[in-house]
Chain A
Amino acid sequence: MTVIGVYNIKGGVGKTATAINLAYLAAEEGRRTLVWDLDPQAAATYYFRVRPKVKGGSKALVRGKRALDTLIKGTDFDNLDLLPADFSFRNMDLALEDAKRPTERLSRLLTPLGEEYDYIFLDCPPSISLVSENIFRASDALLVPMIPTTLSTRTLDQLLAFLKGHDQPGEPRVMPLLTMVDHRKRLHLDLIERLPGQYPGLLDTHIPYASDVERMGVHRQPLPAYAPSSAAAMAYRALWEEIKSKL
């Protein structure tokens, strides 16, 4: 089992789109794949048409009252399952604080799923919190989608500094990647040139800005399911290949 966290402190950078589309591609290859929607906004859950409801909410979940595997829902796609979000996840930090070893809780909850899944994608809420610390702990790789702006690199620096400050065993590999790249924008092109030198971990593949991606909310499906040969779907495919080669 490989756990891939998709995380950024900032919101609206393409985390959910990345998590869902990559998970879809992994499942399409026959890998047993799970998406865990940790965001109380429940965007990933919405995309898969599942109701955002987890019995007992984040409290029961964090306490391990309900084994995760009883909460899982099959999506409309082979090999692809979802652990839905619940509105109570907005208070997950509080629930975690009460737990023993609060930063390892999610990691422990995931362990029994190791037999069942080849890949687990964590779609994370924006912010830095106890939940995010748990995500860093649980992930083998941390994908950090970012829009190419100057401010984005500042946030990435903050994240890298934070991870460094919390040097822990089994620290995830950080893989920043550029999303919503607009080739008409001078600044985007500049940053594409400059950033790889600054951040050696930066993935080569970037995801273009495309209205096909936005339409995920209309189709309520992963992008490659309704527009398999669109430029953006191809970019996600290339991205997945690159990530696999670096795992």
Chain B
Amino acid sequence: MAEIAHEYLIPDGIGSEDIKDLIRDRVRFTEDPAYEVTRRFLDSFDWRLYRAHAAVEERLDAGRRRLLWRDLRADVPPLMQDIDAEPGFAWDLHEGPVRDRLEPVLGVRRLLPLSEVWSRVQPLRLLDEDDKTVVRLVLEDNRFRAPDRDREGTLAARICLVPVRGYAADLRKTARMLNQDLGLEPAGTGVLPEALAAVGRRPGDYSSKLDYHLDPDQRADAAAKEILRGLLATLEANLEGTKANLDSEFLHDLRVATRRTRSALTQIKGVFAPDLVENYKTRFAWVQQITGPVRDLDVYLLDFDGYQACLPAPLQPGLDPLQEFLQAHYEDTHQTLAHALESAKFRDLLTSWRGFLETPVPERSAIRNAMRPTKEVADARIWSMYRRVRKAGRAIALNSPAPELHELRKHCKKLRYLLEFFGSLYPKPQVGTLVKVLKGLLNNLGKFQDLAVQANYLRETARRMHAAGSAETDTLLAMGSLVGDLFNRQRQARVEFSGRFADFDSEATQAVIRDLFAPARKRGQRS
């Protein structure tokens, strides 16, 4: 059975009365009262809903405010729930069907408005002999507005066919009437894509994932600039959201872009002048440093319930003052960050950095790798970093001191970033597999280090709270228990390390790496 188009465009100059007259000649229907509706389409900054094939809208009509979840792949009615405030985080919504669907997809991100559509709506219900509704038709006159209100205008008028379950024959008949008898064109898409295009947005126009398409023969210095420009774009895209603290992931993505920038600068070796590298490395280290304190607080506050849950029940309430303490410091800490991001120092950094990245590479460069083909440089860098990871990893025993694991983690991260920067030069499935194994290892090393950092941060915070007189004995005990728990989990991670590393150091992984990156004479050999 052919797909039935559900939305049709009404040509300019034809009013809804005309359409109604045309329909009235053909079928029996009743008009429900006309109403106005505002639909505010929402998604997270990184399009989590779109990527999950869903669309969420806030809908205001007849004094009712609702949140709708539409599954874009299934032909089912939207889920709805009433709301009484501007939707933001999933956890701020009341219990309900939309929240249930939203929570796992949206995670810690905030819903942000993409585009707003205001419509005058005339619903019609097509009836059978028992006055039962068998098909709904909705006539819409639509206008759009950008969330910051700097753009608005009209969109095409539409007539939408809303199926009633179990009345497929009536639906087909009605579609035929609209399409063939009235000669209306199917709209092709819903109003959402039209409303997005009208405000100049494209679904998926931001992603924190790296997506380069490098040319293997391109000069390495030019490729390095291209990589760094992409990272700068990510950093800048997250700046406003970080300053406004819309959600924690703006800062997180900004920090990742900064870390990757430093890694690209130092790991794509010998393509830029050493003093320039040194200069920007230092300046981006400063960005990393000023953004740290808010991130630390985010880490605790986001997972506070999780921390509390790992304590025995009687100790749990003791942790509440910690949350209050962290929250009390949040505002100030964020203010400090926002100021730093508005400072001349920061602005100058971005301006001069952009200036450098947008300047074409000099025609000739005496710097060691600058003029070599990108692929050659990438092969060599990845191969050497891989060997460092392997050597450091194999040297680790159950009693190795923590700094050795920290060191290994750094190498691993560098290797991962290199794979991500240069991934497009290699076959996708192989690189994907490598990144995955590496992630497994990094997760483990991350746990090992971060849990210890968190435990120490908590000890430090306990001292500060105690000094400030804001920690009762119960709170200190609860925090102590949490510190103990963190250290236990850290030890657990330590035990799991050898398994994770074995995955990475497996025959299969070794072979893949050798084939992709080893110097020509070693490819195809066994180690």
* In the bound complex, CA of A49 to CA of B66 (Å): 28
Interface residues on B, range: 20 to 34
Q: Mark B62-85, 1 if CB is under 8 A from A, else 0.
A: 000010000000001101111000
A74 interfacial contact with B, CB 8 Å: yes
Q: Does B98 contact A (CB under 8 A)?
A: yes
Whether A32 and B97, one on each chain, are in contact in the complex, defined by CB atoms closer than 8 angstroms, is yes
Query: Chain B contacts of A71 at CB under 8 A?
Result: 166
Chain B residues in 8 Å Cβ range of A30: 66, 79-82, 96-98
Is B229 an interface residue, CB under 8 A from the partner?
A: no
Does A50 contact B132, Cβ atoms closer than 8 Å? yes
Contacting pair B166 A72 (CB below 8 A): yes
For residue B356, CB closer than 8 A to chain A, the reply is no
User: Once the chains are docked, how many angstroms separate the CA of A79 from the CA of B80?
Assistant: 9
Residues of B within 8 Å of A74, CB to CB, are 163-167
Q: A73 at interface (Cβ–Cβ under 8 A)?
A: yes
| A29 → chain B closest CB, angstroms | 7
Within 8 Å CB of B80, what residues of A? 30, 78-79
> In whole angstroms, what is the CA distance A51 to B128 when docked?
11
Q: Chain A at the B interface: mostly helix, strand, loop or mixed?
A: loop
Which residue of chain A has the shortest Cβ distance to B163 in the bound complex?
A: A74
Residues of A within 8 A of B66 (CB): 30
Closest to B67 in A: A30
**A237 on the B face (CB < 8 A):** no
CA distance A50 to B131 in the complex (A): 10
Residues of B within 8 A of A79 (CB): 77, 80
Within 8 Å of chain A (Cβ to Cβ): is B133? yes
Known: A30-B80, A49-B130, A78-B80. A73 touches B97 (CB 8 A): no
Q: Which residues of A sit under 8 angstroms from B132, Cβ to Cβ?
A: 48-50, 76
Minimum Cβ distance to chain A for residue B202 (Å): 31
**Which of B82, B125, B130 counts the most A-chain CB atoms under 10 A from its CB?**
B130
Q: A30-B80, A30-B98 are in contact. Are A76 and B130 (CB under 8 A)?
A: no
Q: In the assembled complex, which residues on chain B have CB atoms less than 8 Å from the CB atom of A171? A: none
Q: A220: which B residues are within 8 A, CB to CB?
A: 131
Please state if A29 and B96 are interface contacts (CB–CB under 8 Å).
Answer: yes
Min Cβ gap A222→B in Å is 14
A79 vs B76: C-alpha distance when bound (angstroms): 10
Among A131-189, those with CB < 8 Å from B are: none
Cβ-based interface call for A118 (8 A):
yes
B79 lies within 8 A of A32 (CB): yes
Complex Cα spacing A86 to B347, Å: 74
1/0 contact string of A48-62 vs chain B (CB within 8 Å): 111100000000000
Please state if B131 and A49 are interface contacts (CB–CB under 8 Å): yes
B97-A118 in contact (CB<8A): yes
Contact yes or no, B165 A76, CB < 8 A = no
Question: Given A30-B80, A30-B82 in contact, is the A73-B133 Cβ separation under 8 Å?
Answer: no
The chain A residue sitting closest to B134, CB to CB, is A74
Whether A31 is near chain B, meaning CB under 8 Å from some CB there, is yes
Which of A49, A74, A78 has its CB near the most chain B CB atoms (within 10 A)?
A74
Complex contacts, A39 vs chain B, CB 8 Å:
none
Contact present for B167 and A76 (CB under 8 Å): no
Per-residue contact bits, chain B 146-175, to A (CB 8 Å; 1 contact, 0 not): 000000000000000001111100000000
Distance, CA A36 to CA B422, complexed state (A): 59
Residues 327-374 of B at the A interface (beta carbon under 8 Å): none
- Whether B167 pairs with A73 at a CB distance below 8 angstroms is yes
Interface hub of A30, A32, A73, A79 (most chain B Cβ within 10 A): A30
A81, CB-defined interface residue at 8 Å: yes
Chain B residues lying within 8 Å of A118, measured Cβ to Cβ, are: 97
Contacts of A32 in B (CB 8 A): 79, 97
Taken together as a complex, chains A and B put the C-alpha atoms of A71 and B167 apart, in Å, by 10
Which residues of A have CB within 8 Å of B79?
30, 32
- When chains A and B are docked, how far (Å) is the Cα of A48 from the Cα of B164? 13
Give the residues in chain B near A81, CB-CB below 8 Å. 165-166
Q: How far is the CA of A31 from the CA of B82 in the complex (A)?
A: 11
**A114 CB to nearest B CB, Å:** 14
Residues of B within 8 A of A78 (CB): 77, 80
Chain A residues with Cβ below 8 Å from B164 are 73-74
Residues in A with CB closer than 8 Å to B165 are 72-74, 81
Tell me the bound Cα distance from A30 to B77 in angstroms: 11
A73–B80 Cα distance when bound, in Å, is: 20
Inter-chain contact B166/A73, CB cutoff 8 Å: yes
Which of B66, B77, B97, B132 has the most chain A CB atoms closer than 10 A to its own CB? B132
Q: Once bound together, how far apart are the Cα atoms of A73 and B82, in whole Å? A: 25
Give residues 70-90 of A contacting B (CB, 8 Å). Answer: 71-74, 76, 78-79, 81
8 A Cβ contacts from B39-94 to A: 66, 76-77, 79-82
A71–B131 Cα gap in the complex (Å)? 20
- Over the window 10-33 of chain A, the binary record of Cβ atoms lying under 8 Å from chain B Cβ atoms (1 yes, 0 no) is 000000000000000000011110
**What is the bound-complex CA distance between A48 and B132, given in angstroms?**
8
Q: How far is the CB of B100 from chain A (nearest CB, A)?
A: 9
Docked CA distance A118–B165 (Å): 17
Closest to A73 in B: B166
4 other A-B residue contacts (CB within 8 Å) besides A50-B132, A73-B166, A220-B131? A30-B97, A50-B130, A73-B164, A118-B97
6 residue pairs of the A-B complex, CB under 8 angstroms, read A30-B79, A30-B96, A49-B132, A71-B166, A73-B166, A76-B133
B residues adjacent to A (C-beta < 8 A): 66, 76-77, 79-82, 96-98, 125, 130-133, 163-167
Q: Which residues of A line the B interface, CB within 8 A?
A: 29-32, 48-51, 71-74, 76, 78-79, 81, 116, 118, 220
The 9 nearest A-B residue pairs measured at CB:
A74-B165, A73-B166, A49-B132, A74-B164, A30-B81, A30-B80, A49-B130, A76-B133, A30-B97
